[in-house]
Amino acid sequence: MWITRNNTGKIKEAIKTRPVVLLTGVRQVGKSSLLQKLFKDTEYVTLDKIILAEEAETNPTKFLERFKHQVIIDEVQYAPSLFRELKIKVDQERNVKGKWILTGSQQFTLMQQISESLAGRVRILNLNTLSTSELNNTNLLINPRDLLWKGGFPEIWAENLNASDFFDDYIQTYLERDLRQILKVTNLRDFRRFLSLLAFRVGQLMNYSEISKEVGVAVNTIKAWVSALETSGLIILLPPYYNNLGKRLIKAPKLYFCDNGLVAALLNIGSLKVLENSPHLSNIWENFVFTEYLKEGLIAGKNLFYIRDQNGVEVDFIIEKDGKIILVEAKNSERPNPKKLNFKKIAPLFKEKVTSIVACGIEEEGVISLKDYSIYNPLYGFSI
């Protein structure tokens, strides 16, 4: 079953305005399937095929010359030599828009090459796993709370796959094989323990020293592993908001994963029943709320932050939008306790107009406005 993606319009718009369009995202997020669906008559080649990747890398001029019309080149990170030659091609055909459509998964090698070779010539778009709104437009989501442990990888839903089996394969083939090889990890047990520890710490402050001690490897090694996971898009480090607030605030980033299903799998949560009884439920709910904001177009470090002071007073998310400040607390409970909300302590720090929202598990759809804040359930969808 085909699931319509929300950023279809952005891709079509980019094709009309830029000579090169690059669609990034983690593996299995549906990049190539989406592009082939949108551009059915466009030639498609994938550099997952070793012989094509070798040709593109060793003889990029000859490789690109074969394409006279629009082409989709999948997994371009396997041939970094292409980018410099592609720049020459684009400059020769400056008025031709949308001819080169690229995809890439391993962003930690890909983005450096793009920034060096195709600056000003490429539109970069990111494809996330399925959002609540995308799944709610289908008949696949019987119980919305299944999103919390299954996550949003399209194949799980479109093919009705067993989520646990999917993530077992995903962790083994990508996290433990591809990523491990790139990082030159020598001890798979250490790396697997590292991944599980990150899942245990979702929604918490990133503390490299503590993780280093628990895994038993050097701090610099942990930093390198975290950096690779972050640049690949599998984890996101949410920075604090502390500019010009005149108060001592925590400056360490908070850790989140790109998809709830991946977190649940690393925590051995294989059903909704297990999740509902898990001590990690509140953190997984927070991760879900966070990823939904990313899928709405917010960017960590640009317009999405968190805030916590030295006394532990915290608001989960701060959103800067249209000159306003939006404070968001993520609470899995259906009716959060107002005494546990810190809006009144944090709001006075800002000069801008402040709106307070709780993303919680209420059964009602839509936004409910209370005296000091509003509440809504992100499982039913809602745009800030």
What's 108-146 look like in SS3?
Answer: HHHHHHHHHHCCCCEEEEECCCCCHHHHHCCCCCCCHHH
**282, 204 contact by CB (below 8 A):** no
How far is 292 from 303, CA to CA, in rounded Å?
14
Question: Which one, of 108, 46, 111, lies nearest residue 83 by Cα?
Answer: 111
Enumerate the domain spans of the chain. Answer: 8-126, 132-380
Query: What are 290-347's pLDDT values in tens digits?
Result: 999 999 989 998 999 999 887 788 999 999 988 899 999 999 998 888 989 999 999 9
312's CB contacts (< 8 A; 6+ apart) are: none
pLDDT at 108 over 60: no
pLDDT level of residue 195 (50, 70, 90 thresholds): very high
Residue type, position 249, single letter: L
Strand partners, 234: none
- In this prediction, residue 106 carries a pLDDT of 60
Q: Is 26 helix (H, G, I), strand (E, B) or coil?
A: coil
pLDDT digits (tens, 9 = 90+) for 212-231: 999 999 999 999 999 888 88
State the Cα angle at 109 between 104 and 114, rounded to 5°. Answer: 70
Q: What is the DSSP string of 264-298?
A: HHHTT--SHHHHHT-TTHHHHHHHHHHHHHHHTT-
Rounded Cα distance, 61 and 44, in Å: 18
**pLDDT of amino acid 172:** 85
The answer to whether 130 and 100 are in contact (CB under 8 A) is: no
State the pairing for strand pair 71-74/100-104: parallel
Beta strands per DSSP E along the chain:
20-24, 43-46, 71-74, 100-104, 122-126, 235-238, 254-257, 304-308, 314-321, 324-330, 354-359, 368-369, 374-376
Flag whether the pTM goes above 0.75: yes
| 308 alpha-carbon distance from chain centroid | 23
- Supply the CATH classification number for the domain 8-126: 3.40.50.300
Q: How many helices (H) and strands (E) does the chain have?
A: 18, 13
Given a contact cutoff of 8 angstroms between Cβ atoms, the answer to whether 260 and 148 are in contact is yes
Q: Please tell me what DSSP assigns to residue 300.
A: B
The band of 360, judged by pLDDT with boundaries at 50, 70 and 90, is very high
What is the Cα gyration radius of the chain? Answer: 22
Residue 100 neighbours by CB distance under 10 Å: 26
